[in-house]
Amino acid sequence: MTNSNNFPEARYELVNPDPLKTDEYILNMGPQHPSTHGVLRVLLKTDGEIVESATPYIGYLHRTFEKHAEHMTWPQIVPYVDRMDYLASMNNDLGYALAVEKLMGLEVNERAQYLRVIVAELNRIASHLVYFGTYGLDVGAFTPFLYAFRERERIVDLFEEISGARLLYNYIWIGGVAFDAPEGWLDKVAEFCDYFEPRIKEYNDLLSYNKIFIERTANVGVIPADLAINYGLSGPSLRGSGVKFDLRKNDPYCIYDRFDFDICYGTGEKGTLGDTWDRYFVRIQEMVESVKIIRQALKQIPDGDAKETVPKNVRVPKGEIYFRSETPRGELGYYIVSDGGKNPVRVKVRAPAFSNLSIIPAIAPGLMVADLVAVLGSLDIVLGEIDR
């Protein structure tokens, strides 16, 4: 059929018979996006605002730590360990030192062991404070960030006084610690504990029990206990699903068996057990337990020289070992192989954030994009140890 101008008559067909059906949209979240907490890229396939699939892409921050370790002497590796989970450098150092010491059969003196626990728990609090502040930003609350860094600055000041650094400390060495506590430092730690404990109520009033925050996090991103275990989750991300497993209690290392503290775990208080609110609140509770551990350590710490067992030339006998410890993000494991030389043959790291991130493709489908931001934030990843 033609019209008077001899042009074919236009035919209109309904391309999409269902007007409510939208096309699949590919969206890159990151690697330059604040909600990915580092240079992480998550490839999203969405139907409108609903996520159909989410695939994390890592490698943008690859540091070749494990290869570096093969060409460094045993003590020279400590500053590299610092830079994996840069929010918890003390905890990274502790796990590495304990692994090498166990392979060497080296006993560390009592005072150094107590100092290690004190700084490790202070660093746990500092790391959780960063989580508290940045997680508030993830869901649209700015004020918690200011509160969190107010307290974290006090901890950083304490670390600067004992180690000389404010982020990457190089403090816990093979055989002990780099420096003994300066005069009056332990009293300042006790003063911080007195100051900090009442702040937890402020955090809960400001964010934890805030109605808007609860609606953004409760019943969102639920991870059942069996799924968390199958994906290798650990730390608060695992305990948020109701699993009472903490290496400091279940497989004690250092001197943690001397302290009385509780394992914090999710209970489904504001929604479904294993949701993002549970994972968040576990970390708030853990800060209280860390203060309890620090107070006990301050009472029990003996006098003496904290550096007396630090060897000048570290020689590790031939052998291999796997050692794990509880960092703010979960189970940090070191698999170390020695041929008896001054360098390790292999240093392989089991990074908790790497395993925790792996669950995103399993729980993302069906979430809204904004909820995926909340779920990713609740896992508290650090790309420095994922892209190690």
Kindly report, residue by residue over 169-212, the tens digit of the pLDDT: 999 999 999 999 999 999 999 999 999 999 999 999 999 999 99
Residue at 60 is within a domain: no
Name the residue range of residue 215's domain. Answer: 66-363
Residue at 44 is within a domain: no
Residue at 13 is within a domain: no
Query: Cβ-count burial of 195 within 10 angstroms (0-12 exposed, 13-18 middle, 19+ buried)?
Result: exposed
Task: Locate the DSSP E strands across the chain.
Answer: 25-29, 41-47, 50-57, 172-173, 176-177, 319-327, 330-338, 346-350
- β-pair partners for 51: 46
| pTM flag (> 0.75) | yes
Residue at 215 is within a domain: yes
Residue 1 has pLDDT above 70, yes or no: no
290 neighbors 259 (Cβ within 8 angstroms): no
Residue 14 has pLDDT above 70, yes or no: no
| Mean of the per-residue pLDDT values of the chain | 91
Residue 233 has pLDDT above 50, yes or no: yes
Amino acid at 297: A
Residue at 31 is within a domain: no
> Which segment of 55-64, 67-76, 188-197, 230-239 scores lowest on mean pLDDT?
55-64
Residue at 250 is within a domain: yes
**How far is CA 369 from its chain centroid?**
23
Q: What local confidence, expressed as pLDDT, does residue 131 receive?
A: 96
Q: What local confidence, expressed as pLDDT, does residue 188 receive?
A: 97
**CA diameter of the chain:** 106
Residue at 50 is within a domain: no
- Give the number of domains in the chain: 1
Q: What local confidence, expressed as pLDDT, does residue 32 receive?
A: 79
Residue at 61 is within a domain: no
CATH of the domain at 334: 1.10.645.10
**Among all chains, which residue has been given the structure tokens 């208080």?**
269
